[in-house]
Amino acid sequence: MAQILVFPIVLLLTFSPSSYAKCAYEAIFNFGDSNSDTGGFYSAFPSQPSPNGMTYFSKPTGRTTDGRLYIDFLAQAMGLPFLSPYLQSIGSDYKHGVNFAVSASPVLQPNTSLFDTRVSPFYLAVQINQMKQFKARVDESKSQGETNLPQPDIFGKALYTIYIGQYDISHDVASLGADGVKQYGPQIVQEITNAIKELYRLGGRSFLVLNLAPMGCYAAVLTQVSHDESDIDQSGCMISFNNAVRDYNSALKESLQQARQEELKDANVIYVDNHAIQLDLYQNPTSHGLEHGITACCGYGGGSYNFDPQVFCGNTKEMNGQKVTASACGDPEKYVSWDGIHLTENANKIKASAILSGSYFDPQFSLNQLCDIQPIG
């Protein structure tokens, strides 16, 4: 029987600068999953428990971490407010962008329901269709003076960020091993490339496309995917799983390069080596002022992983006749992993700083030449 890897659906004071920094990009349009969801999933299904949000907001905000995500830090660095989720009907302001990312969203259309396998119905093509609808609404409302929408010319002056595929690859590798990536990887890559082309036709010209993280370092993977001790590296990560992710990332990089040479010659389509950034965090946490690499801050079970797939961060469940709670550590700023899958706020900040440096871009691309990058903190 195929092994199904279970990833939990878990769940800034609003950053409002008095004046926006000088930047060629006046908005961010983001597409993805829980790694960059700022509240979309929990706008549709409100139920996120504490301690999510404990560090910065002092309450859950729909972000799957203790505070801010890397997309929050990118917006702050560009002098923009935090992105409102597309699915959030109350209090949203879309003048400087929209967040279409929704937790647990795959690239490919799921063939099962949210309640059966915890996969979101807001897969990538749905997010792109939402973007099309948003643009149509902006174009229609030009003369109606709607205050929470941008001007129609915003789409050519925006940065488009895409980070998605974690669910697809984790499911494929857990079910089929490395062959799962070989079987479904090309289709996933093609869907992402097609999405970029769709956004290009809507006016987008600058894209940051993050490759996938080293999921073999996730406590959720290490506790649920069978492996031999010989398959674990010195930092505690699963070698075969990370190799499968690297194969996928290589295919994504090649596809983006081909798209640049053909249909997207006048666009900035930037491949971001997120894998290298996060691998360094897991393997060398102390080099970044952290103490714990693969161990989850918020979880249950203790030990090297502090992760139990039966009780996710913030949840309480009866196990072996007693109630147990997956609670948070008291010092999340010292951890890379928040809940066995997602990064802590501090790790997200380090990741955003690495992205902003431009050192992980292919081809070379400097945001500093287009934006007066603001300090993040």
pLDDT in tens, 258-278: 999 999 999 999 999 999 999
Please tell me the distance from the alpha carbon of residue 262 to that of residue 299, in angstroms, as a whole number.
47
The alpha carbon dihedral of 131, 136, 142, 148 has a sign of negative
In sequence order, the β-bridge partners of residue 206 are: 268
Q: Residue 326, class by beta-carbon neighbours within 10 Å (0-12 exposed, 13-18 middle, 19+ buried)?
A: buried
86-143 tens-digit pLDDT: 999 999 999 999 999 999 999 999 988 787 778 999 999 999 999 999 999 999 987 6
What is the Cα–Cα distance from 4 to 24, expressed in whole angstroms? 44
d(CA 32, CA 102): 6
Q: What is the pLDDT of residues 274-315, one digit of tens each?
A: 999 999 999 999 999 999 999 999 999 999 999 999 999 999
According to the model, what pLDDT value does residue 117 have? 78
Q: Which one from 34, 36, 206, 337 is the annotated catalytic residue?
A: 34
> Is residue 36 a contact partner of residue 30, using CB atoms and an 8 Å limit?
yes
19 given a catalytic annotation: no
Phi, psi of 113 (to 5 degrees): -105, 165
Q: Is 171 annotated in the active site?
A: no
CB neighbours of 176 closer than 8 A, spacing ≥ 6? 2, 183
Task: Provide φ and ψ at 236, rounded to 5°.
Answer: 95, 5
CA distance 124 to 187: 13
Structure tokens, 276: 């290298």
Taking the CA atoms of residue 193, residue 194, residue 197 and residue 201 in that order, the dihedral angle to the nearest 10 degrees is -160
Decide if 72 is catalytic.
no
Cα(31)–Cα(240) distance, integer angstroms: 28
Q: How far is CA 3 from CA 103, 201, 228, 272, 317, in A?
A: 21, 39, 16, 30, 23
Q: Which residues of 214-243 are buried (b: 16+ CB within 10 A; e: fewer)?
A: bbbbbbbbbbbbeeeeebeeeebbbebbbe
For the stretch 10-23, pLDDT in tens is: 333 333 343 446 89
End-to-end Cα, the chain, rounded Å: 47
The average pLDDT across 151-176 equals 92
Among 21, 181, 216, CA closest to 107:
181
Mean pLDDT, residues 233-256: 96
Residues 6 or more apart whose Cβ sits within 8 Å of residue 119 = 104, 105, 106, 110, 112, 113, 167
Condensed to tens digits (0 to 9), the pLDDT of residues 48-87 reads 999 999 999 999 999 999 999 999 999 999 999 999 999 9
Burial class (CB in 10 A: 0-12, 13-18, 19+), 89: exposed
Determine the pLDDT at residue 377. 85
Closest to 309 (Cα-Cα) out of 8, 103, 33? 8
Residue 10: per-residue pLDDT: 38
**All residues at 6 or more sequence positions from 361 whose CB lies less than 8 Å from its CB, including other chains:** 270, 271, 272, 273
